[in-house]
Amino acid sequence: MKRPVRIGTRGSRLALAQAEWFRRAVEARCDTAAELVVIRTSGDRFTDRPLRDIGGKGLFVKEIEQALLDGDIDCAIHSMKDVPAELAGDLVLAAVPEREDPRDVLVTRDGRGLDALAAGARVGTSSLRRRALSLALRPDLAVADLRGNVDTRLQRLDSGDFDAILLAAAGLNRLGIAPAGARALDPGPFVPAIGQGALAIESRPDDVAALLARLDDPPTHLCTRAERAVLAALGGSCHTPLAAHGRIDGATLWLEGVVASPDGARVVRGRQSGPITDPETIGRRLADELCRNGGAAILAELDAR
């Protein structure tokens, strides 16, 4: 390209850190100039209400996708966990770079773990999945909504508004933040969100997509394809505590998943595996297993609300 590749991004500190890393990678590995275009999304404008009440994580994506469709940018960088199961128009995922740590992290002022929190301890999170899994393990906790950027959430913990908060390890790592009281949670019982820790590079199906494919990490892309197949099959929304996490062992892709009620009283777990050559089939099989074992009833109740 004669002009720089225009990369659309949100303007939060974390989004800009991710986008700047990607901009440098494009210049280094694609031998072309790149620049950032900051787009303010609905999810960034409305921070006073839970995401599930105003449209869900897709609010972090839709304006950026529209800029892509309009030709105002050449590609976009998202946190994969924010990307809906269906992309807008004919947009494609041109690349999925190597995944960061997918785990969740519990942060407290004194470093205690989830098991050691006092009964009634106030735990902050913006995620229904984290709420449900926390309550499944500790139904005596008081889990409350907490939105805002990472710095704001940590400040509210320090000020005593919360006894603990739940964050993504990937976000902390990308920002270079290492809270003294942080403990990574076992991804077995605390299954990560679909796409957590991964970045999604979205573009039109053109020469830019072909160029950016150089930045793709095949193992990460395969795992997230399987995870997103679960999302597509179950029709998960912002009202659904839903998780799926894949890992590759040799030529086999292992996929674990969860559907839970928001109060954590019901948690349906499943596990599937298969050849890495067919990740979507593995994801659909896991979705079927979760539905058969009680997930369908949970989803139907949530849809009826």
Q: Kindly list the catalytic residues.
A: 82
* Residue 235, Ramachandran bin (φ over 0: left; ψ between -120 and 50: alpha; else beta): left
β-pair partners for 200 = 78
Q: 22: alpha, beta or left, given left = phi > 0 and alpha = psi -120 to 50?
A: alpha
Contact predicate 51/147, CB 8 Å: yes
Q: Name the token pair of 248.
A: 């590759």
Name every residue whose Cβ is closer than 8 Å to that of residue 143 and which is 6 or more positions away in sequence: 123, 124, 125, 131, 134, 135
d(CA 68, CA 63): 9
